[in-house]
Amino acid sequence: MIEYTPDFLINFWNWFPVDAQTVAIILGKIVLILLPLILSVAYVTYAERKVIGAMQVRIGPNRVGFFGFRLWGLGQPIADTVKLMFKEVIIPTQANKYLFLIAPILSIGPALAAWAVIPFDRGMALANVDAGLLYVLALTSIAVYGVIIAGWASNSKYAILSALRSGAQIVAYEIAMGFALVGVLMASGSLNLSAIVEGQAGGMSSWYFIPLFPLFLVYFISGVAETNRAPFDVAEGESEIVAGFHVEYSGMAFALFFLAEYANIILISALTALMFLGGWLSPFEGFTFLEGTMFEFLRETSLIWFLGKTSFFIFCFLWFRATFPRYRYDQIMRLGWKVFIPITIIWIFVEAVMMLAKVGPWAV
């Protein structure tokens, strides 16, 4: 590629100091991650309306298209974004103005930044850092600040009730989530997300969801609770507290919360795929009889596998919302504290014993 580039462009590039070049390359990669991500977020909202529509035997959005063609309503998310951009951002008089505006930024920032360490394919990660999982755990924890600050700064009764509920719920499920992650770490022996995926090499039977099945369920369900999605959406609870912590937000400020919620859904789905379902590894990896046939390519690792697994979990989020009625708050807390935490602690013990006895994925 370099030999086809005109000289003046190369000269122009070399004219920059090396540090600036490094930063420019990183920024380019970030754009390559963020643009598809934001586009996915937009189309997950569309998918949500379509999927739930189909599950309730409706059609869902089907009017807004491009250039006069309807195209099954594919223009809907774009139209929604444009509409939200041109809507007034109302700042209530009683609100703490600065906190009120900081809260959505605090929601969206970490939700996007967590993608820095996600590997998409073998060697395809922006930052292949050793503390990857710790970083993701830290950033997903920051999400709770966005909710609490939004609820407090709005100075509205519904908002503050929702912020309290949601804050308590998020921290409760974060413990179960953290314990489940400890189980994954014990199995993989590394915090590096790429190493965790490579530790699952060898076909579907060596993926961690089999030896860590209880942790897999706990992690995914906690992920649903962490993102405040149905059936754990008491924080939004339309029928009780209107819209919860973002009741006072409108226009782009509301859109940022919305964006953050969906970015977090995709993030949790991607993490579940990476940690329990072998990320980019092929489910047919162990099928030696495919060798030499035309289906041999199925055994290769690929970005497609990762995206497919992630999409499956995103679909589960939408499916849950269409299927389950909302939990009552005491049921949510009971599930988090009295079911998930004991299960994870017990499974960590079981895993430690399995490890000493050299059974499961640790039998080297």
Partner 1 sequence: MLENYLPVLIFMAVGLIVGFVLLTMGGFMLAPHKPDEAKNSPFECGFEAFEDSRMKFDVRYYLVAILFIIFDLEIAFLVPWAIVLEDIGLFGVLSMGIFLGVLVIGFIYEWKKGALEWE
Binders in 4-63 for partner 1, by CB under 8 A: 22-23, 26-27, 29-30, 34
- Contact window for partner 1 (CB under 8 A) among 100-108, 212-220, 281-289, 310-318: 100-108
Interface with partner 1: number of residues (CB under 8 A): 89
Q: What is the CA radius of gyration of the chain?
A: 22
Structure-token match 């992920």, residue found: 223
* Tokens standing for residue 341: 């935490």
Say whether residue 105 binds partner 1 (CB under 8 A).
Answer: yes
Say whether residue 359 binds partner 1 (CB under 8 A).
Answer: no
288 contact partners, CB below 8 Å, separation of at least 6 = none
Q: How far apart are CA 151 and CA 248, in angstroms?
A: 9
Structure-token match 């906690």, residue found: 222
Say whether residue 111 binds partner 1 (CB under 8 A).
Answer: yes
Residue from 10, 71, 90, 304 touching partner 1 (CB under 8 A): that is 90
Helical H runs in 205-286?
213-226, 238-241, 251-276
Residue from 201, 242, 307, 350 touching partner 1 (CB under 8 A): that is 242
Q: How far apart are CA 273 and CA 304, in angstroms?
A: 12
Contact criterion met (CB below 8 Å) for 162 and 236:
yes
Q: Which of 73, 76, 143 is nearest to 103 (CA)?
A: 143
In terms of CB distance, is 90 or 359 closer to partner 1? 90
User: Cβ 341 to partner 1, closest distance in Å?
Assistant: 7
Give residues 310-339 in contact with partner 1 (rule: CB under 8 A).
329-330, 333-334, 337-338
Give residues 159-178 in contact with partner 1 (rule: CB under 8 A).
159-160, 164, 167-168, 171-172, 174-175, 178
Residue from 44, 116, 281, 335 touching partner 1 (CB under 8 A): that is 116
Residue from 4, 69, 86, 98 touching partner 1 (CB under 8 A): that is 86
Say whether residue 182 binds partner 1 (CB under 8 A).
Answer: yes
Q: How far apart are CA 60 and CA 196, in angstroms?
A: 39
In terms of CB distance, is 47 or 186 closer to partner 1? 186
Most distant CA pair in the chain: distance in Å?
71
257 alpha carbon, distance to own chain's centre: 14
User: Cβ 49 to partner 1, closest distance in Å?
Assistant: 22
User: Cβ 191 to partner 1, closest distance in Å?
Assistant: 7
In terms of CB distance, is 181 or 318 closer to partner 1? 181
Say whether residue 109 binds partner 1 (CB under 8 A).
Answer: yes
Q: Which of 159, 173, 118, 115 is nearest to 257 (CA)?
A: 159
Binding mask 272-301 for partner 1 (x = CB under 8 A): ------------------------------
- Contact window for partner 1 (CB under 8 A) among 6-14, 53-61, 223-231, 355-363: 355-363
- Contact window for partner 1 (CB under 8 A) among 51-59, 158-166, 211-219, 301-309: 158-166
User: Cβ 153 to partner 1, closest distance in Å?
Assistant: 11
If 0-12 CB within 10 Å is exposed, 13-18 middle and 19+ buried, where does residue 58 land? exposed
Q: Which of 187, 238, 244 is nearest to 360 (CA)?
A: 187
Say whether residue 101 binds partner 1 (CB under 8 A).
Answer: yes
Say whether residue 152 binds partner 1 (CB under 8 A).
Answer: yes
In terms of CB distance, is 9 or 356 closer to partner 1? 356
Q: At what angle do helices 251-276 and 213-226 cross, to 10 degrees?
A: 180
Contact criterion met (CB below 8 Å) for 209 and 276:
yes
- Contact window for partner 1 (CB under 8 A) among 39-47, 114-122, 224-232, 286-294: 114-122
* Tokens standing for residue 210: 């089999």
Say whether residue 267 binds partner 1 (CB under 8 A).
Answer: no
Q: Which of 278, 309, 283 is nearest to 197 (CA)?
A: 278
Say whether residue 119 binds partner 1 (CB under 8 A).
Answer: no
Contact criterion met (CB below 8 Å) for 103 and 95:
no
